[in-house]
Amino acid sequence: MSSQQVVLHEFDPKDMPFRRLGPSGLRVPVFSLGGWLTLGGSVVGDPVKDIIKTAFDAGINMFDTAEAYAAGKSELEMGRVIKELGLRRTDLVITTKLFWGLRKGPNDSGLSRKHIIEGTQESLARLGVDYVDVIFAHRSDNTVSMEETVRAFNYIIEKGWAFYWATSEWSAREIEEAFHVANKLNLMGPIAEQCQHNMFHRERPEKEYDPLYRKYGLGTTTWSSLASGLLTGKYNDGIPEGSRFATTAMFKSTVESLQKEEGLEKIRKVKELTKLAADELQTTPAALALAWVAKNPNTSTVILGATSPEQLTENLKALEVLPRLTDEIMEKIEAILDNKPPPPTNYGRPPLDRLGRL
Ligand SMILES: NC(=O)c1ccc[n+]([C@@H]2O[C@H](COP(=O)([O-])OP(=O)(O)OC[C@H]3O[C@@H](n4cnc5c(N)ncnc54)[C@H](OP(=O)(O)O)[C@@H]3O)[C@@H](O)[C@H]2O)c1
C-alpha cells in the first residue's frame, strides 16, 4: 500500500489533543474510532466511508478493529475505506486484535505462536496494509506459556508487521507476568491495555490496574465508554427500534437487567447526569460521559463507536467538555454515580509514581 499509494486527504489534527500511548513514543488522539458491531457489521458500504471520513476530518487518525469483528468484515471494510479515501498510511494509527480467529480449528484462535503469526498475516491481508501500529492480544490465553506469547508478539514486531503489542481485558496479574517475562528475555512488554471503562464499569481500570500505571506507565485504550449507548440516555424510556440493544442478541440479559433494580438505578443516574450535563455544561450526557473517561489521567485514548456520522459528531462535543470538567463538576458526578472504587491501601504511605513523584 505504502509505495504506490495516492494520497487524497491530508491529515489535519485540528484541535484534537494527542497523548503518548503508555510508555511508548506513539502519539494517539484522545478520541479514536473503533469498529466492533458497527463497521462491517451493522454498517456496510458507503456509510462506513462517511463515518471514517467524518472522524478523519475531525482530527481522529486512530482506527481500531479486530480479526473477529464481523468475522473479518470489519478489517476488510476499514481497509477498503482507507484506500478509497486515499489516506496516507503514515498519518494513521491502525490497531487490530487477535484471539478468537475466524475458523474452528484447534490452531485458529488463542495466543500460540502459530495463531499470533498466522492471524497477524491474515489481518494485514484483510486490512490491505503492510503493518499495523499496535497489535493487541484480544484476551489472555492461559493454555499457552507466557514466554511463547511474549516471544511471538516480539517476532511480529521484529518482522515489521506491528510496531508495538498490547493486551485487552487481561487481569493485572497476567499483565504483570507479561512484563516480567519480557524483562527477563530482554524483549518488549505490552504498552497498553484495551479495557472497558465507563461511568458504570470502574473497578478494573481504576483500581485493579492502578499499580501497573505507576510501575510500568501502562496506557489504556478504553472501550464501551458510553456503556454501549446507555450513557447517551437513549434507553431511558425503553429500547428504541434499530438500536444496539434492540438488534444484537448478546445484549438480551442487559435489556432484561434494565427492568430490574440494578438497571433502573442506572437509568435514574443517567437522567441525573443528563440534567447535570444540560444545566452546568450545556451539553449532552454522551459528551459528558466520554469527556469523563478522557479526563482520567491513565486514559490514553477513548475508542468511540458510532453507527452514523451524526452520532460521531455529537460525541466529539466531548472535546469541548473535557477542559470544563472542574473539580467541582467531577465531585457532582461522583455524588451521582456513587460507585468510585476505593483507592489501594498504602497503610499511610503516600503513593509515588515510577519517577518517584507524589
Ligand atoms: N477489546 C475489547 O474487548 C473491546 C470490546 C468492545 C469494544 N471495543 C472497541 O471499542 C470500540 C467502542 O466500543 P463500543 O462501540 O461498545 O462503544 P460505545 O460508545 O459504548 O457504544 C457505541 C454505540 O452506542 C450507540 N451510540 C453512540 N453514540 C451515540 C449517540 N450520540 N446517540 C445515540 N446512540 C449512540 C451506537 O449504537 P446504536 O446506534 O447501534 O444504538 C454506537 O455504535 C469498539 O468499536 C471497539 O473498537 C473493544
Residue 131's CB is within 10 A of a number of other CB atoms, namely 19
Residue 231 backbone phi and psi in degrees, to 5: -80, 0
231 close to ligand 1 (CB < 6 Angstrom): no
- Contact in structure between 63 and 132 (CB atoms under 8 Å): no
Please provide the DSSP assignment of 225-265 as one string. Answer: TTGGGGGGTTTTTS--TTSHHHH-GGGHHHHHHTTSHHHHH
Q: Which CATH class is domain 18-233+289-316?
A: alpha beta
* Percent of the chain at pLDDT exceeding 90: 92
Average pLDDT over residues 35-57: 96
**Residue 347 pLDDT grade (very low, low, confident, very high; cuts 50, 70, 90):** confident
What DSSP character marks residue 207?
I
Write down the pLDDT at residue 3.
53
Q: Which residues contact 65 (CB under 8 A, 6 or more apart)?
A: 34, 35, 39, 74, 75, 78, 94, 95, 96, 97, 127
Write down the pLDDT at residue 131.
98
- Residue 30: which of 309, 296, 307, 313 has the closest Cα? 296
Write down the pLDDT at residue 43.
96
Classified as helix, coil or strand, 30 is coil
Residue 343 scores a pLDDT above 90: no
- Contact in structure between 39 and 9 (CB atoms under 8 Å): no
Classified as helix, coil or strand, 44 is coil
Residue 173 scores a pLDDT above 70: yes
208 close to ligand 1 (CB < 6 Angstrom): no
* Percent of the chain at pLDDT exceeding 70: 98
Q: Ligand 1, residues 43, 228, 310: which to mutate, most atoms within 8 A of Cβ?
A: 228
Write down the pLDDT at residue 246.
96
Q: Which residues contact 88 (CB under 8 A, 6 or more apart)?
A: 5, 7, 9, 10, 11
C-alpha cell, 168: 485487552
Bridge partners, 301 (sequence order): 221
Residue 356 scores a pLDDT above 80: no
Catalytic residue among 69, 131, 213, 235: 69
Residue type at 102 in one-letter notation: L
Higher pLDDT, 99 or 3: 99
| Helix orientation angle between 46-57 and 73-85, rounded to the nearest 10 degrees | 60
Which tens digits make up the pLDDT trace of 22-45? 999 999 999 999 999 999 999 999
Ligand 1 centre distance from Cα of residue 104 (Å): 27
Q: Which residues contact 290 (CB under 8 A, 6 or more apart)?
A: 31, 225, 226, 302, 304, 315, 318, 321
Distance CA 277, CA 235 (A): 17
Write down the pLDDT at residue 352.
75
- Contact in structure between 97 and 82 (CB atoms under 8 Å): no
Write down the pLDDT at residue 344.
75
Catalytic residue flag (residue 131):
no
Bridge partners, 29 (sequence order): 18
- Residue 109: which of 151, 134, 139, 79 has the closest Cα? 139
Please provide the DSSP assignment of 100-153 as one string. Answer: S-SS-STTSSSSSHHHHHHHHHHHHHHHT-S-EEEEEESS--TTS-HHHHHHHH
Q: Ligand 1, residues 244, 248, 274: which to mutate, most atoms within 8 A of Cβ?
A: 244
- Contact in structure between 154 and 188 (CB atoms under 8 Å): yes
Residue type at 59 in one-letter notation: G
- Contact in structure between 94 and 133 (CB atoms under 8 Å): yes
Q: List the residue whose alpha carbon is closest to atom 24 of ligand 1.
A: 229
Q: List the residue whose alpha carbon is closest to atom 43 of ligand 1.
A: 306
Average pLDDT over residues 141-153: 98
Task: Tell me the average pLDDT of the chain.
Answer: 96
Write down the pLDDT at residue 4.
67
Q: What is the dihedral of CA 34, 291, 269, 345, to 10 degrees?
A: 100
306 close to ligand 1 (CB < 6 Angstrom): yes
Write down the pLDDT at residue 1.
55
Classified as helix, coil or strand, 254 is helix
**Residue 351 pLDDT grade (very low, low, confident, very high; cuts 50, 70, 90):** confident
C-alpha cell, 299: 486514559
Ligand 1 centre distance from Cα of residue 195 (Å): 13
228 close to ligand 1 (CB < 6 Angstrom): yes
Average pLDDT over residues 271-293: 98
Distance CA 167, CA 222 (A): 12
Ligand 1 centre distance from Cα of residue 33 (Å): 9
